[in-house]
Structure 1
Amino acid sequence: MRLVKSEINSTHVLKLAMLGAGAFLFLVPSVKAVELTNRAPKENLALSHSIQLAQNTKFFLCPQGKERILAIETINYKLNICGFEGIPSHYAAVAKNKRQGGITLPLKNYDEQGFRYVAVNGDTTYTLTEKQLTISRGKKVIAREKVIAHD
């Protein structure tokens, strides 16, 4: 009877770690599926719609510690309404052309029933409704864009 000499080398450790990580990633979607099936049908539909939008657009612009309440897209911008525990507090936007930087501003006011969010940066006002984003400087409208997707 021959004894097998056990050797641990970095290749074996790396393979074992990759196997463990793969198993973990494989199981994570299963956990989400159970979570979705325990919800009411109407809630499932709304949640699946927002998940679909998030997966299609793949953007999260909210400041650290804030959650995305809404994801909105216009022709030229990706926007998030951010907050905490469902209460809106910030407007975050980035240009799709990637030549311009993003902006994150506290909301000046909002009306969730009327789907209207207003943020101000100096003399520039960003007004977001369900149908359009309007950017004004003073009393002059400098941009108006139709909303093409939102959750």
Structure 2
Amino acid sequence: MLKQALAGVGAFLFLTSSVYAGEQSAESDRFEFSLQNTAEILQVQPLSTSNSIELAQLLNTRCPPNTSLYRAAETRNHFAHICAAKGGTLVFVGGAKNGTQNTVNATVPSNSSGQFVAVQGNTRYILTQSQLRIIQGNQTIVNERVLRWTQ
């Protein structure tokens, strides 16, 4: 049903040859109208390079193939996603927003008490709805409050 509705809207937009766009002049109270081709208006614009989770959710590009986004978190400096595969396997995907560190991709053995824990080598990644902690050996190297959480 949704696909049919989207197809109908898309067909309507492409069949409509032109639209009027109005802009209010700064010097007066009048509007100036110009005729624009619908195809020009519908051109694909480059996506923002922001690292917000809304964009990640939209594109779902951080999850490995054959998985889907299960949880997403964003801290001031990091992103963290829990991706789910068929059969219930959970995968932690996370990294620094500035791209200077490698992205982590580690299996989450269990989800107890709303806490996702992934281990890669001697590094543990602990994600809760309120906090992201990264512990290397016995030293906490990241301890950041979660600013955005999506279930």
What is the TM-score when the length of structure 2 is the normalising length? 0.59
- Determine if contact 1:76/1:95 at 8 Å carries over to the other structure: yes
User: Which residue is 1:44 aligned to?
Assistant: none
Higher helix share: 1
Higher strand share: 2
Q: Name the CA distance, whole Å, in 2 between partners of 1:69 and 1:86.
A: 13
Is 1:148 aligned to residue 147 of structure 2? yes
Shift of 1:25: 8.6
Compared with structure 1, are the counterparts of its residues 135 and 82 closer, same or farther at alpha carbon in structure 2 (3 Å cutoff)? same
Q: Secondary structure at the match of 1:58?
A: helix
What is the TM-score when the length of structure 1 is the normalising length? 0.59
Shift of 1:24: 4.1
User: Which residue is 1:57 aligned to?
Assistant: 54
Q: Name the CA distance, whole Å, in 1 between partners of 2:132 and 2:89.
A: 17
Compared with structure 1, are the counterparts of its residues 89 and 125 closer, same or farther at alpha carbon in structure 2 (3 Å cutoff)? same
Structure 2's unaligned 5+ residue stretches are: 1-5, 12-51
Shift of 1:100: 2.2
Alignment of 1:93-108 (within 5 A): 93-108=94-109
Is 1:132 aligned to residue 106 of structure 2? no
Runs of 4+ in structure 1 deviating by more than 6 angstroms, as ranges, are none
Compared with structure 1, are the counterparts of its residues 57 and 135 closer, same or farther at alpha carbon in structure 2 (3 Å cutoff)? same
**What is the aligned-residue identity percentage?**
28
Counting matched residue pairs gives 101
